[in-house]
Amino acid sequence: MVISSIDLKDGKVVQLRQGKDPVLERDDPEALIAEFDRYGEVAVIDLDAALRNTKPDGSTANTAVLKKLLRSGNVRVGGGIRDAKKAKELISLGAEKVIIGSAAFTLADGSPGINTAFLEAMVQAIGKERIIVSVDSREGKIAVKGWTESAGIELVDGAKAVEQYCSELLFTCVEREGTMTGIDMDLVNALRSAVSCRLVVAGGVSSVQEIAALEEAGCDVQLGMALYTGKVSLRDSFIECLDWDKCELIPVVAQSEAGEVLMVGYANRDAFARTFETGKLTFWSRSRNELWTKGLTSGNTLDVIRLRVDCDRDTVLAIVNPAGPACHTGAWTCFKTGSDRAYSLEFLSSIIGERFANPKPGSYTATLTPERVREKILEEAEELTEAETHADAVWECADLLYFISVLMHQEGVSWKQVFDELDRRHKK
């Protein structure tokens, strides 16, 4: 599959040719990641950190932007990660994986070599499954320090040496980076034959056909220049990377953001294209033999948030926002008979938001002022601490969560933000 790349320099999104010559610049990183997240993983690279353009406190001109992006999708982050403390901090801030490069191929005294002490410390700190090692190559040898120097290590030898410390390798052919002149398939095949872990390829990709060929070879692709210049589209790349050899229709599991499975349908190439075009989940109707956008007649559409492909490339998970019941029977999901959606904190928040936006006669929620809510939170918290039975504790917890949710709405705080903060503390 395709991983979209967001390279940051001086607080802007940039694309460089061969890591040095600027080609384009944008100032909409949050809009970009919102778009890229629909199709898959996103790589965010702090080029200033990689080039040591840092402030005394270790931050860069990109730090504030980078922190915002880390919780905005399935993000892997790289650039200037030279110690386990920094890696752990980035994981706690929301990165799913970290990309390390020069530090893996530079010894403590600055000389070239496989830095096993550093790699072992990284594994100990965040786990092998969260580590990606970048094996960037210039003229067949590992390139380090922002691609300005050679480590003198043969590409394949370096990759084999670091594989035990990571879950993935990211291979960039420096000579072709940003040139869109095509992938060096000989190097890719040599690398693919030498290692068994996931291999992501970047540098020179110029067409959907190349992406499909890399997928056939067992490699994923990280896209930069070809994506930003419009030479390759994420829509076409997503569709072509699915395993159409197994069947003409791909199962699509529709799931809410809260994790509730709503329905399963089947899609062909045209259905996926229509989904991306409209933002509404579209299937191929096997009974009517035609494209079918869910809810087009009833109004109960499934608005697509993001699509994810399974490891075998033959099933798609669609994370959606349902406009109403998903089942034709009127049930909220096709796997239950009841019409009620599963209750969750997010559902509670949506009800509270609706009460404030469209107050109903007699609505208690709509009458709550920020001052009154704060009073009720103090009152309910005290009652919870004084609860004498299990049933009383449950009752008071429900009261407290309700009033907390009202205050959160008034303050513009979401449950996702709260859970993100708890996740950060857990990983710190």
Kind plus residue range of the DSSP H or E element containing 13 = strand 12-17
Please answer whether residues 38 and 306 qualify as being in contact, where contact means their C-beta atoms are separated by less than 8 angstroms.
yes
Instruction: Give the CA count within 13 Å in the CB-facing half-sphere of 218.
Output: 14
Q: Which tokens is 314 given?
A: 């033959």
Strand, helix or coil for residue 314: coil
Backbone φ and ψ of 5, nearest 5°? -110, 135
Residue burial 402-423, b: 16+ Cβ < 10 Å; e: rest: bbbbbbbbeeeeebeeeeeeee
What is the sign of the dihedral through the CA atoms of 65, 71, 72 and 73? Answer: positive
The catalytic residue positions are 7, 136
Beta strands per DSSP E along 275-325: 282-285, 290-293, 302-309, 316-322
The radius of gyration of the chain's CA atoms, rounded to the nearest angstrom, is 25
Number of other CB atoms surrounding residue 328 within 10 Å: 11
Beta bridge partners of 309: 316
